[in-house]
Amino acid sequence: MQKDHIQLSEEDRTYLLSLTSSGSLKVHVYKRAIALLELDRGKTLRSVSKSLSVSYVSVSNWRNKYRDSGLTFLKDQPRSGRPQLIDGAQRAKLTALACSDAPEGFEKWSLRLLAEKAVEMGIVEEISHTEVGRILKKTNSNLT
């Protein structure tokens, strides 16, 4: 099963050893680095996957990505997706608004009322009541 193994360059091996001993490293980067070092030492994909508690396919993919692009695969590439339309400052203002007293005539804030008031105050151009709920849920706010 020689095809499972990889041959790290001395420079890559030194980099990976220093990286794994640094102490402040994301788990997915650490596991990828350890997997490469283990494969370089002659371990099989299956034994590396068992020792790191990841799937065989993951270790195989890491090996192939290392062969294709070197150590750049250690860190995840930016993912596609819809960008956030509401930044942290706007979220903070919305949370502060939810924590303030409800407008006159209302006992407490509703999500729809918060969404309308946020647009009225110019905090955001537009926002749905469901998005207000998601934002407040992440801040552990309680409207009751």
Domain boundaries, the chain: 2-74, 88-138
Dist. CA 56–CA 136, nearest whole Å: 40
The Cβ of residue 59 has, within 10 Å, a number of other Cβ atoms equal to 27
Dist. CA 43–CA 2, nearest whole Å: 10
Query: What percent of the chain shows pLDDT beyond 70?
Result: 94
Name the H helices within the chain: 10-20, 27-40, 45-52, 56-69, 88-99, 111-120, 129-138
CA 114, chain centre distance (Å): 29
Token pair 């409207």 in the structure block, residue: 143
Q: What are φ and ψ of residue 38, in 5° steps?
A: -65, -40
Tell me what pLDDT residue 82 has: 80
If you average pLDDT over every residue of the chain, what do you get?
A: 88
Q: For residue 62, what are its two tokens?
A: 């890491």
User: What digits encode the pLDDT tens for the residues 67-97?
Assistant: 998 888 888 888 788 877 888 899 999 999 9
Please classify residue 49 by burial: count the beta carbons closer than 10 Å to its beta carbon, then call 0-12 exposed, 13-18 middle and 19+ buried.
buried
Give the angle subtended at the CA of 10 by the CAs of 30 and 36, to the nearest 5°: 30
Query: What percent of the chain shows pLDDT beyond 90?
Result: 62
pLDDT band of residue 5 (cuts 50, 70, 90) is confident
